[in-house]
Amino acid sequence: MPPPTAHQKAGETDIFKLDRTDICTLPLQGGYGLDALWNDDFHHSAMVAMTGHHEAYYSDYRGRPREFIAAAKHGFLYQGQYYPWQEKARGSPTLDLPAECFVVFLQNHDQIANSGTGQRCHGLTSLSRFRAMTAYFLLMPGIPMLFQGQEFAASSPFFYFADPGIELSPGVREGRRTFLAQFPSLATSEMQAKLADPGDIETFRRSGLDLGERHRHASIYALHRDLLALRRTDPVLGQRPCRIDGAALTDEAWMLRFFSAGGVDRLLVVNLGRDLLLGPAPEPLLAPVEGQAWQLLWSSEAPVYGGSEGPAQDAAGDWLISGQSAAVLIPGPSTAGTGAKDS
At 190-234, the pLDDT tens digits run 999 999 999 899 999 999 999 999 999 999 999 999 999 999 999
Per CATH, 14-215 and 238-333 having the same topology is answered no
pLDDT at 187 (0 to 100): 92
pLDDT at 129 (0 to 100): 97
Among 328, 325, 331, 293, smallest CA distance to 309 is for: 325
Whether the pLDDT of residue 55 is over 70: the answer is: yes
pLDDT at 105 (0 to 100): 98
Whether the pLDDT of residue 312 is over 80: the answer is: yes
Q: How far apart are CA 48 and CA 54, in angstroms?
A: 6
Q: How confident is the model at residue 8 (pLDDT cuts 50, 70, 90)?
A: very low
pTM: 0.88
pLDDT at 215 (0 to 100): 97
The domain defined by 238-333 folds into Immunoglobulin-like (2.60.40)
- Tens of pLDDT, residues 17-43: 555 556 656 566 666 778 889 999 999
* Strand spans (E) along the chain: 37-38, 82-83, 88-89, 102-105, 143-145, 243-248, 253-259, 266-271, 276-277, 292-299, 312-313, 319-321, 325-333
pLDDT at 28 (0 to 100): 63
Please, what is the average pLDDT of the chain? 88
CATH class, range 14-215:
alpha beta
pLDDT at 18 (0 to 100): 56
Q: Domains of the chain: which residue ranges?
A: 14-215, 238-333
**Which of 7-21, 22-36, 77-91, 137-151 is the most confident on average?**
137-151
Q: List Cβ neighbours of 14 (8 Å cut-off, separation of 6 or more).
A: none
What is the average per-residue pLDDT within 156-176? 86
Tell me the percentage of the chain whose pLDDT exceeds 70. 88
